[in-house]
């Protein structure tokens, strides 16, 4: 298809194409969960799409079936087909119930330490399956892979979202992921430029500062981005970081030196440059709803992702063009890149119906989701990245099954029917569920305990580490000789506590937290089949 000549669009229509807004994946206003992060009611969202003409929408959470209907609704409102984005770094099932949910990317790093070709093939399959399932629900912009090199174990925001701790491994696995997705009409995204892996601050809350010199950036942070660009990645997302060696004044997202000079000119990237979400604290704490979008476009961004107020963002950028701060050609360059990206995605469009291109003339059916082969691959990644120590299997001696999670209210991986609860229950263990807010608990002197810790980093979590509640409980059980076995789900850096375990106490670590991960870990612990 051919999109209209840019000269047929008003300035406001052109700028609107650069804006991607947040939307609830649910169909009804009463289901909105994250209004503070831009999810708006139906009337406002329809105004943003149909009247303002925003270029895309980003989703987070829900179920695959409802999401599919929601995307169809939104596309029907749009004058031009929408970019539909999602942070599905671990597959569609990570965010949308019903899809395949893979282990975090760092699980592949663990596999790569002993079998690099296997890890590379897993990464390729992960990219291909994620692309296939994304198309089935209507997602066409996969905000992955993460190509940050996580060389800071205390990193509160990247951590296990990275493919590894060295630029060589990250480059090879990210490249394989991109190649796996490349056979499908979706866009991929390398993030977070120029590298968010060595931070101790979560940019969702505050602005991290990277103090490394240019030589260090060239040798560690930038190689995976070079590899991703060489592999044909469609877009690059900027990081909300201050890096004095590259720009002592502005965060990368707002820096012409970093986005235009470094990424466009020095690295030769010709695809879409997107900001990270502009609602994040690293930006909103310092720059206004009108300033940040203008500065991002001036810096070189094509996509203004999740501005605080989309309408204000469009007006502010238009005013910057009209006042001569930003050239009209600069806007046309960005919209031209957006047009080319959308032409890759859509074969036909007549303002009412649209079909994906070029592989299939119709969207894949939802039966494409969670195919047995896809689930088997996801399970093998979990199994092959498992870490164990101590005497296995454990001979069950009924006692307490204490599960520690970070937040009870927002848990998507734990229910009455998930294996972390049902398997110990079948073996005679009584459940005790606690979180970081739980008071100190008492355990009878003659009780034995299986301790399961669900601790991983995630955006807006504010940090990483074993909570004081979990640490105190672990030490108490160890000192009183009441700990039968330990299972950790999430971050491998939490395995440091296992160094204190006597050799006879079994410990199992699994990168995933979902039901499949629980089954695999507990089957290993008890030597049973669930």
User: Which contiguous run of DSSP H or E holds residue 470?
Assistant: helix 468-479
Query: What would the 3-class secondary structure string for 325-340 be?
Result: CCCHHHHHHHHHHHHH
Query: How does DSSP assign 216-255, residue by residue?
Result: HIIIIISHHHHHHHHTT-SEEEE---BBTTTBSSS-GGG-
- Find all residues with CB under 8 Å of 51, minimum gap 6, and list them: none
- Find all residues with CB under 8 Å of 179, minimum gap 6, and list them: 124, 127, 231
Phi and psi angles of residue 182, each rounded to the nearest 5 degrees, phi first: -65, -20
Catalytic residue among 276, 333, 379, 384: 276
- Find all residues with CB under 8 Å of 14, minimum gap 6, and list them: 6, 331, 332, 335
Q: Give bridge partners of residue 389 from the DSSP assignment.
A: 507
Place of tokens 């430029």: 193
Place of tokens 């330990």: 486
Q: Are strands 56-59 and 272-274 parallel, antiparallel or unpaired?
A: unpaired
Tokens of 250: 């502005």
- Find all residues with CB under 8 Å of 476, minimum gap 6, and list them: 443, 482
Catalytic residue status for 276 = yes
* Angle subtended by helix axes 223-230 and 167-181, to nearest 10: 20
- Find all residues with CB under 8 Å of 95, minimum gap 6, and list them: 59, 60, 61, 62, 86, 87, 88
CA–CA gap between residue 77 and residue 75 (Å, rounded): 5
Tokens of 390: 């101590």
Annotated catalytic residues are 276
């Amino acid at each position: 298809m051919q999109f209209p000549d840019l000269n047929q669009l008003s300035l406001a229509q052109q700028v609107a194409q650069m804006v991607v807004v947040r939307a609830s994946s649910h169909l009804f206003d009463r289901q909105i969960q994250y209004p503070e992060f831009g999810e708006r009611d139906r009337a406002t969202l329809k105004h943003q799409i149909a009247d303002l003409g925003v270029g895309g929408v980003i989703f987070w959470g829900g179920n695959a079936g409802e999401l599919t209907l929601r995307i169809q609704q939104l596309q029907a409102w749009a004058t031009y087909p929408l970019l539909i984005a999602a942070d599905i770094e671990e597959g569609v099932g990570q965010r949308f119930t019903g899809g395949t949910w893979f282990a975090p990317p760092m699980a592949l790093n663990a596999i790569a330490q002993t079998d690099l070709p296997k890890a590379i093939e897993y990464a390729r399959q992960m990219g291909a399956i994620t692309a296939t399932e994304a198309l089935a629900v209507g997602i066409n912009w996969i905000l992955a892979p993460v190509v940050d090199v996580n060389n800071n174990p205390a990193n509160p925001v990247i951590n296990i979202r990275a493919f590894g701790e060295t630029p060589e491994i990250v480059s090879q696995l990210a490249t394989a992921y991109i190649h796996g997705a490349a056979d499908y009409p979706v866009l991929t995204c390398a993030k977070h430029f120029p590298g968010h892996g060595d931070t101790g601050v979560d940019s969702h809350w505050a602005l991290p500062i990277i103090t490394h010199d240019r030589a260090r950036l060239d040798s560690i942070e930038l190689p995976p981005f070079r590899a991703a660009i060489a592999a044909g990645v469609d877009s690059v997302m900027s990081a909300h970081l201050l890096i004095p060696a590259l720009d002592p004044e502005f965060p990368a997202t707002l820096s012409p030196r970093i986005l235009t000079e470094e990424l466009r000119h020095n690295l030769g990237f010709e695809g879409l440059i997107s900001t990270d979400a502009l609602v994040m604290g690293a930006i909103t704490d310092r720059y206004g709803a009108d300033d940040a979008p203008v500065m991002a476009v001036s810096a070189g961004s094509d996509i203004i992702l999740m501005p605080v107020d989309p309408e204000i963002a469009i007006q502010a950028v238009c005013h910057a063009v009209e006042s001569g701060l930003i050239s009209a050609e600069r806007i046309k360059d960005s919209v031209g890149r957006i047009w080319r990206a959308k032409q890759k995605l859509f074969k036909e469009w007549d303002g009412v119906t649209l079909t994906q291109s070029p592989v299939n003339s119709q969207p894949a059916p939802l039966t494409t989701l969670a195919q047995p082969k896809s689930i088997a691959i996801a399970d093998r990644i979990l199994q092959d990245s498992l870490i164990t120590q101590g005497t296995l299997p454990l001979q069950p001696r009924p006692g307490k099954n204490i599960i520690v999670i970070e937040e009870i209210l927002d848990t998507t991986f734990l229910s009455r029917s998930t294996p972390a609860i049902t398997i110990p229950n079948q073996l005679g263990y009584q459940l005790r569920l606690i979180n970081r807010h739980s008071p100190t608990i008492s355990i009878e002197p003659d009780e034995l305990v299986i301790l399961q810790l669900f601790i991983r980093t995630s955006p807006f979590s504010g940090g990483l580490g074993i909570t004081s509640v979990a640490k105190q409980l672990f030490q108490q059980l160890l000192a009183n000789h009441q700990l039968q076995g330990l299972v950790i789900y999430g971050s491998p850096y939490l395995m440091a506590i296992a160094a204190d375990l006597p050799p006879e106490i079994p410990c199992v670590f699994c990168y995933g937290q979902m039901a499949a991960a629980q089954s695999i870990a507990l089957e290993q612990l008890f030597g049973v089949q669930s």
